[in-house]
């Protein structure tokens, strides 16, 4: 996934830090990728909330159905959802195979 497919936030929104992870051993599945992403979020944000994610292996995004198109189109709804709901951290695992957006929890 290229940076062109992940739009930068417009002025007035917080910047999104991007962390790219390339584990020495290929990640087995979504569950393993989630563990890596959560560890990164906890280290960088402390308390955090997962805003959205994408699993390229299954071509699935969450929240589901946020991409508003039918057929073979690029799934980007999870990106837009995260950016418009305050995400400040993007964890990209294996060049877009798994992508997670997080925001810090502030009490």
What global pTM score does this model have?
0.84
Phi, psi of 13 (to 5 degrees): -105, 150
CATH number of 14-104, picked from 3.40.50.300, 3.30.590.10, 3.40.50.280, 3.30.1490.340: 3.30.1490.340
Q: List the beta strands (DSSP E) in the chain.
A: 17-21, 48-55, 60-62, 89-93, 98-104
Domain layout of the chain by residue ranges? 14-104
Do the Cβ atoms of 103 and 87 come closer than 8 Å?
yes
User: Which tokens is 49 given?
Assistant: 């909330």
pLDDT, tens digit, 9 for 90 and up, residues 65-82: 888 776 777 788 999 999
Sole residue written with tokens 């929240």: 63
Percent of all residues in the chain with a pLDDT value above 70, rounded to a whole number: 85
């Amino acid at each position: 996934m290229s940076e062109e497919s992940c739009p930068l936030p417009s002025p007035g929104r917080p910047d999104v830090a991007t962390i790219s992870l390339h584990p020495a051993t290929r990640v087995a599945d979504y569950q393993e990728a989630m563990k890596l992403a959560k560890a990164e979020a906890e280290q960088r944000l402390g308390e955090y909330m997962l805003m959205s994610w994408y699993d390229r292996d299954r071509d699935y995004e969450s929240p589901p159905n946020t991409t508003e198109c039918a057929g073979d189109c690029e799934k980007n709804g999870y990106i837009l959802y995260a950016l418009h709901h305050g995400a400040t951290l993007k964890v990209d695992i294996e060049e877009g195979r798994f992508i997670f957006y997080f925001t810090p929890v502030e009490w």
